[in-house]
A and B are shown apart, each in its own frame.
Chain A
Amino acid sequence: MEISKFAVALAGAALLFTLPACRKADEADTRVAAETNVINGDLAGAIGELDNVGTARSLLDFAGFDEILSGPAPYTIFLPDDTAFEGLGEEKLAFLKTEEGRPELIALLRTHIAPGTLIREDIKSAIASMGGPITVANVGGSDMKIGGSGDSLILGISGGPQLMPQSVRAGNGVIYVIDAIIPPSGS
């Protein structure tokens, strides 16, 4: 009986110790699940599944990128969230939605699109093996840096847009939501 009480107490203590670990694991699982949210459809459909990217969605649509995002070629899209576009200002944003502003909109969007499928784990391991920021080409005709450590990944050397946890893997690429617009390569 004494043993039995001791065993129960021991089991209870063990449970107390293991509960926080379980909670942490659950949180981690949730985040990983968000990072590796896999959908069967294409990038065009995946953008429709994301929250707080309504502005980017409408701009991609106005830029005529639908066929590109639903085509066979793989792309990685760094998709600014709605707050990021607010940083452009209403006037600028309104201009980008006009026919006169569309060439500039397309140029802007192109800097946010990289060729191929860039998975977060591959980005992190490349940064680790290079010992610092890595360089990624985009379809805007320039390169961009991705740096950071651990789960904190930043576009640019420092102070650039941050890769948010929210991301989606689609059949033809990956989407990372970012919290700021990627500045022009010359700036």
Chain B
Amino acid sequence: MTVGKIVEILDARIVTGGDSLDFEVGAACGADLMSDVMAFVKDRVVLLTGLVNPQSIRTADLLDIRVVVFVRGKMPSEDMVAMARDNGMVLLSTKYSMFLACGRLYEAGLRAGGVREIS
């Protein structure tokens, strides 16, 4: 699924990275706990989160996650946007809640969680 399609499905605002709308992601992860993201994410995912602080950008950067969606209408600070821009990341903001945002992407065909096997 392309970033452009995600923008459309989530009726999202593009905060930064508008030149990467063709970028493809194959999986999604919804989490507010960054340690969980680091523990379980395996593949390249789009990260959906309600956590709006520099750590969400940093966690994504360290895991090579290039697309982050802030749910519940949250907007990242200027510092975060600058950091994301430096790293070549896409930041989106959607008014949908975490549940609805994830549900809409799932329904549109983005099915993989991109996480390691959880025993």
Query: Are A and B genuine complex partners?
Result: no
